[in-house]
Structure 1
Amino acid sequence: MTTDRVEAPARTVGAVADELYLKCIRCGKCLSVCPVYRETRIETLSPRGKVALYRAVGEDDLKVSEVYAGKLYTCLMCEACRETCPSGVELDVILNQVRADLARSGLMPGSLRQLSETIVAAGNISGEDNEQRLGWTANLEAMPVGLDHGGQAEVAYFVGCVSSLFPASYSIPQSLIQILEQAGVNYALTGGGERCCGYPLLLNGEVERALEMARHNVEAVQATGATRVVMACPSCYHMWKHTYPELLDDGELDGLEILHETEILADLAREGRLHFKP
C-alpha cells in the first residue's frame, strides 16, 4: 500500500488500484442487501467476501483459479452493496476490471462464454436471426409507421433484445409505439439494424466487444436523423445513459439525448400531446 498519495502512484492488484478495495472494513452492512448472499449464505459470495478474495490474490495468499473466477462472476451487479457501504467500496467498478482480466485469461465461466458468443454471432441474447427483432409487430393492426422514417425522425426507439424477441414482453413496444403515434411523434425503429446494447458483454468482462455493439447502435440511431433516443429496458437505458459515454470517444454521442420511456411520456404530457381519460 502506498504511503504518499501525492507523489507515489497507487499500487495495483491486477487492474485495480489498491484504494478501491482496501476501503472495505468488513463491517458486513452489505450482507443484508446482497441478493446472492441472502440466497446462498456463503461468505465468499458476499460483497465483502469477494473483496477479501481479490485482496488475497493480490497479496499472493490465494492463486487465481476457475473456482476463484466463478465466485467473482457470481454477482448480479445490482449495486445494492455500493449504496449501503459506509466506506464507499465500489464493488461494481472492481468487478468490471477484474472480470476483464479473467476474460482475457480464459477464465470466464463456460455458460457466460456461450452467451457472449451468441450475442456476437446473432446480435442478440436469444441467438435468433436478428431480423426477427420485429416479431412483436406481427399481431398489430398495421405495421409501425416508425419503420418508414426516411432518415427524418424526431425520436429513435431502441427496443432492446427482450422486448424484441421474447413474446411475454411484446406488449411493451406495442404499447409505446401506439402512444407515440397517437401523440404525433415522428419516431424511428431500426428493426434488424439494432443489436444488443452490449451490457451482458460488459458484465462478462468483454469490453471491446461491448464497444463494438455500442458503436454499431449509435450509428444505426444516427442514420434515422433522430436527436433523441428512447428505451424502456432498464439495462439498455443504463448502458446508453451511463456506459456508452465512458466507452465511446468524445463526440460520438454528440447530438443524442438519451431518455427512458417515462421521461418522454412526461414530456408529451407537459406538451399537451397526450390526452388522458377523465
Structure 2
Amino acid sequence: MSNFGKLLNWEITRFSKFYGALFVITLLLQLLDVWLYTHDYMNNAERAMESQSMTAVQYVQNYSKASLNGYDNILFDWSISLCGVTLLLYIFLIWYKEWVGRSTFAYRLLMLPTSRMNVYLAKLSAILLFVWGLVAYQFLLIYVQIAAFEALIPSEFRQDLTVTEIIRQHPLLKILLPSYFNEFALYYGAGLVSVIILFTAVLLERSYRFKGIGAGILYSGVAAFLIILPQIISEVWFPDFFFPSELILLELVMGILVTAFSVWFSSYLLHKKVTV
C-alpha cells in the first residue's frame, strides 16, 4: 500500500502544474463569460432606457431580466470542454511520457520492487482524482459566478437563481453534477469503464507496438459493443421485450464483466508483455 501511495503521489505531483493551469484558465474564462454578458446586457438596457425614456421596471417588463442561464455561455462551455479534452489526452499521456526520448524511466518504473498493478492502479486513481477535483472545483465556481453576477447587475435587472437551478438548466452541468445518485453512478461509472478500456488499449499498443495499435482500436470497439449489446438486442431483435429496469441491469452486468476482464487483461499485459 505504501508503494501505491508513493506512486499515486508522484503521478499527482508531476501533473500538478498543468492541473493548476487548468484551474486558472477555467476561472478566467468563466468570469470573462459572466463579465461579457453582464456588460452587454447593461449597455443595452441603458441605451434602451435612455432612448425610450423607460425606467428599470419598465425595461425588464418589456424585455427580460438578466440570468446566468439566459445566454449562450460559450466561454463557460469552452472551459469545461478544455478540461475534458485535456484529461482525455492525459489518459494516454500518463502512460506514454515514460517512454518519450532516451530516458530509461519506464524501465526503472516497471522494475520497482512492487507489483506492476500498483503502477496501473496509481495511474487510474490519479485520473479519477483529477476528474473529481475539477468537478468539485466547478461546483465552487458556480458560487463565484453568482457572486460576480450579483456584483455586476443591479437587483432590479437580474433574475437570481439557486445553484441547483443553474445546474439543472445547463446541459453540461447536468452531466457533471447530476442531481440524483443513480445518474451520478451511471455517468461516472461509464467514465470509469471507458478509462479502463482505454488503458487496456494503450497497454496493447505498448505490448505489440504497430500491431497493438490495431488491436487496441479493435478491443475498444468490441468492449463498447458488448456494453451496449443489450440495448441493440432490445431495439433490433426483441423490441419492448425488456423492461427499462431490466435493460439497465443487463447493461450494468455487461459493463462489470467488461471492466473485470479489462483489468485482468491489463494485468496480464503488464506482467507478461509490456517491454521497455
Q: TM-score interval w.r.t. the shorter chain? A: under 0.3
Q: Which has the higher helix share?
A: 2
Higher strand share: 1
Quick check: which has more Rg, 1 or 2?
2
Name which structure has the greater RCO, CA cutoff 8 Å, separation 6+: 2
Q: TM-score, normalised by structure 1?
A: 0.22
